[in-house]
A and B are shown apart, each in its own frame.
Chain A
Amino acid sequence: AQTVTQSQPEMSVQEAETVTLSCTYDTSESDYYLFWYKQPPSRQMILVIRQEAYKQQNATENRFSVNFQKAAKSFSLKISDSQLGDAAMYFCAYVMEYGNKLVFGAGTILRVKS
Chain B
Amino acid sequence: EPEVTQTPSHQVTQMGQEVILRCVPISNHLYFYWYRQILGQKVEFLVSFYNNEISEKSEIFDDQFSVERPDGSNFTLKIRSTKLEDSAMYFCASKPGQGAGVQETQYFGPGTRLLVL
Contact = CB atoms under 8 A, between A and B. Distances in A.
A80 to B, nearest CB: 23
B105 A107 contact: no
A106 interface: yes
Interface string B14-50: 0000000000000000010101010001111100100
Contacts of B111: 43-45
Given A100-B48, A101-B48, A42 B105 contact: no
A84 B31 CA distance: 34
A104 B56 contact: no
Contacts of B35: 102
Contacts of A46: 108
A37 interface: yes
B91 A47 contact: no
B64 interface: no
B92 to A, nearest CB: 10
A72 B91 CA distance: 31
B108 A105 contact: no
A101 B84 CA distance: 25
Contacts of B106: 95, 102
Interface in B68-117: 89, 91, 93, 98-99, 101-102, 104-111, 113
A35 interface: yes
Contact of B43 (A42, A47, A100, A104): A104
Interface of B: 31, 33, 35, 37, 41-45, 48, 55-56, 58, 89, 91, 93, 98-99, 101-102, 104-111, 113
24 contacts: A33-B104, A37-B108, A43-B37, A43-B113, A44-B110, A44-B111, A45-B108, A46-B108, A50-B104, A50-B105, A52-B101, A97-B99, A97-B104, A100-B31, A100-B33, A100-B45, A100-B48, A101-B33, A101-B48, A101-B58, A102-B93, A104-B44, A106-B42, A107-B42
Interface of A: 33, 35, 37, 42-47, 50, 52, 91, 93, 95, 97-98, 100-107
